[in-house]
Amino acid sequence: MHVVYNSFNGRFSDNPRALHERLRDRPGTEHTWLMDPAHAAAFPPGVRTVRFDSPAARDALESADLVVANTHTEVDWTKAPGTTYLQTWHGTPLKRIHYDVLLVPPGRLDYLDQDIARWDVLLSPNPVSTPRLRKAFGFDGRVWETGYPRNDLLVGPSAGDVRAAVRSELGLAGDERAVLYAPTWRDDEKYDESLTAVPLPLRLGKAAALLSESGTPHSVLARTHNMMTERSHAEVAPGVLDVSYYRDVRELYLAADVLVTDYSSVMFDFSLTGKPMVFYAYDLDRFRDEIRGFYFDLLPQAPGPVVRTEAELLDTVLHLEPQRWAQRYADFRATYGGLEDGHATDRVLDQLGLS
């Protein structure tokens, strides 16, 4: 059996990685990953890769028995009879997606629809997301509500050991408070080709310095969205670690003590850790009403404070009140993470007949 994996157009991460880690030692199984050279260092030794934009990628896909992807596979290929294409997708949607978005370049959805037509199965992380995913993609095939394989790590027995190892790898001291800053992307910025650089809306060096003035050392782990990695860059400053090219964000969830995001789906996965979140929603009205749109109102459901300014953000991070948000946090996790019990990978492999 030949399994071909695509995570975020060439990274070794996410749901495909979690499934690969369970299948890699399966007898009679060959594995090939689509690889972006900018992320080649994240692939372990011995993992077979082909460049995402090469003829070899098309050849791999056309020879696959099973394709596992977490996003649209933007390669022109013909799916062979008998091939199963498992689309895991990459997050619970707060932001509207595909046919539901407010802004989209002409022809973009038509091109992506060619990939959707190849899907055999779509994973859903929770019952709330299933009808949203079906409608947004116009997908009438099989949907498996399994939870996300990538999240098994977050609630599994090795979480503590992984946290310690990743913090050591990043050089974080035992008493150092790690703030993971992981914003989403803006469609108008992504598709404006005149913008060669898109500055982050948070002054990371200043944030790290001001937070550390509290007497507790702080580091800001800055992870730009995979759609913006080439144009948005973390500044070089004391206390700032650019983890945009770090192999897998789920390990960063464990290493971090606090998450700062805006409207990214990282909020749903991070909630499984039980650690505090702050929502830096500096452009909330514009993002909701003009750029992308939401599937639900963030303000009454957010499992943590929603702030609008940098000053308010830093003050909130310094004076977190987890107990104030405990009930809403629990409700959020129950709604969106009820299937995340550490056995999502088992359920997916069972459905595939590969357990």
Cα–Cα distance for residue pair 163/172, rounded to 1 Å: 11
Domain shared by 145 and 159, yes or no = no
Tokens of 158: 């090795």
**DSSP characters over 249-299:** HHHHHHH-SEEEESS-THHHHHGGGT--EEEE-TTHHHIIIIIS-BSS-HH
pLDDT at 355: 86
**What's the mean pLDDT in 312-335?**
97
Q: What is the mean pLDDT of the chain?
A: 97
Residue 234 sits at φ, ψ, to 5 deg, of: -70, 140
Give residue 89's region: left, alpha or beta (phi > 0; psi -120 to 50). Answer: left
**DSSP characters over 126-176:** STTHHHHHHHHHT--SEEEE---GGGHHHHSTTHHHHHHHHHHHHT--TTP
**What's the mean pLDDT in 145-169?**
98
For CA atoms 40, 42, 43, 44, give the dihedral sign: positive
**What's the mean pLDDT in 180-191?**
95
Domain shared by 204 and 263, yes or no = yes
Q: Is the pLDDT reported for residue 236 higher than 90? A: yes
Domain shared by 14 and 67, yes or no = yes
Half-sphere exposure of 90 (CA within 13 A, CB side): 25
Q: Is the pLDDT reported for residue 230 higher than 90? A: no
Tokens of 298: 């963030």
Residue indicated by tokens 């071909």: 4
Nearest of 69, 247, 254, 72 to residue 151 by alpha carbon: 254
Give pLDDT tens digits for 290-302.
Answer: 999 999 999 999 9
Strand 2-6, strand 258-261: pairing: unpaired
Q: How far is CA 92 from CA 129, 233, 273, 298, in A?
A: 6, 25, 16, 13
Domain shared by 73 and 120, yes or no = yes
> How does residue 212 score in pLDDT terms, banded at 50, 70 and 90?
very high
Domain shared by 63 and 121, yes or no = yes
Number of folded domains that form the chain: 2
Domain shared by 187 and 119, yes or no = no
**What's the mean pLDDT in 24-30?**
97
pLDDT at 100: 97
Domain shared by 246 and 173, yes or no = yes
Domain shared by 142 and 200, yes or no = no
**What's the mean pLDDT in 254-277?**
98
The enclosing domain of 9 has a CATH number of 3.40.50.11820
pLDDT at 350: 98
Give pLDDT tens digits for 75-127.
Answer: 999 999 999 999 999 999 999 999 999 999 999 999 999 999 999 999 999 99
Domain shared by 165 and 294, yes or no = yes
Give the residue numbers spanning the domain of 271: 153-337
Domain shared by 216 and 323, yes or no = yes
Give pLDDT tens digits for 40-79.
Answer: 999 999 999 999 999 999 999 999 999 999 999 999 999 9
Tokens of 299: 């303000």
pLDDT at 343: 98
Domain shared by 21 and 48, yes or no = yes
CB 91 within 8 A of CB 15: no
pLDDT at 193: 86
Edge to edge, the sheet with strand 121-124 lists 49-51, 30-35, 2-6, 66-69, 84-87, 121-124, 142-145
Strand 2-6, strand 66-69: pairing: parallel
pLDDT at 78: 98
pLDDT at 254: 98
Domain shared by 64 and 194, yes or no = no
pLDDT at 53: 94
